[in-house]
Amino acid sequence: MKSLLSARQTEAVQHAIKGPHEYTAIGDVVSIAARLEELTRQLGFPVVCSKAVAEAVGLAGGLTELGEQTVSGGAMLPVCGWYPPLLAAN
């Protein structure tokens, strides 16, 4: 089983829906995060993040710039991919 991860640096609205341990998040960030997660499969990287997130960590750890990709509503977002060394060894 593979775990896929996406990341974007922004804000979302979160609130309890049924109780103190069940939450939902709404906003454009949720749609973009879902699209970034889809891009993990399309681009072949287990981790995909926005370029803003990559720059926030100083493009550390072998992040690869992947150019602009289509996200929510047809908008273009520059993204980066990362292949963790432990996965690359397998």
User: Which of 27-31, 58-62, 78-82 comes out lowest in average pLDDT?
Assistant: 27-31
Select from 83, 51, 44, 46 the least CA-distant residue to 65.
51
Residue 33 pLDDT class (50, 70, 90 cuts): confident
Q: Pick the residue with more confidence: 47 or 27?
A: 47
- Mean pLDDT over 6-17 rounds to 50
Q: Pick the residue with more confidence: 53 or 6?
A: 53
Report the 10 Å Cβ neighbour count for 66. 19
What pLDDT sits at residue 74?
A: 80
Q: Is the pLDDT of residue 42 over 60?
A: yes
Q: Is the pLDDT of residue 78 over 70?
A: yes
